[in-house]
Amino acid sequence: MNDDPTGPSDDAPPPPPFKPLDATTRVVQENGRWVVYLNVTSWEPDDDGHPVANNWKRINDYATESDAHVAATWIARSASRNIRPPSGF
């Protein structure tokens, strides 16, 4: 039983099935700044026959390309840390 009114509710729906397969980053130049994007490829049930989804997220922009590549490396390593190997299709 949860007595904390700010805590999670017992009536909350379960999270949707989301199985990440891979996490990659991309560095692109936009308006004179270097922007890091994170792409999480995930396995999602889909009735249309396209179960693999790419979810792109803009992370941040940097003044230099080298700073952006350093940040992209850190972000990709952190995002990939808990991804399990595929168990088959």
pLDDT of residue 5: 56
Predicted confidence (pLDDT) at residue 41 exceeds the cutoff of 80: yes
Q: Within 10 Å of residue 79's Cβ, how many Cβ atoms? A: 19
Mean pLDDT, the chain, integer: 83
Domain borders along the chain are 19-80
* Phi, psi torsion values for 46, nearest 5 degrees: -145, 130
E-strand stretches of the chain? 19-30, 33-43, 52-62
Q: If pLDDT is split at 50, 70 and 90, which confidence band does 44 have?
A: confident
18 band by pLDDT with thresholds 50, 70 and 90: low
What is the widest separation between alpha-carbon atoms in the chain? 54
* Residue 21, pLDDT score: 83
Residue predicted with more confidence, 83 or 70? 70
What string of DSSP letters covers 27-44? EEEETTEEEEEEEEEEE-
Sequence-distant (6+) residues with CB within 8 A of 23 are 38, 39, 40, 41, 76, 79, 80, 83
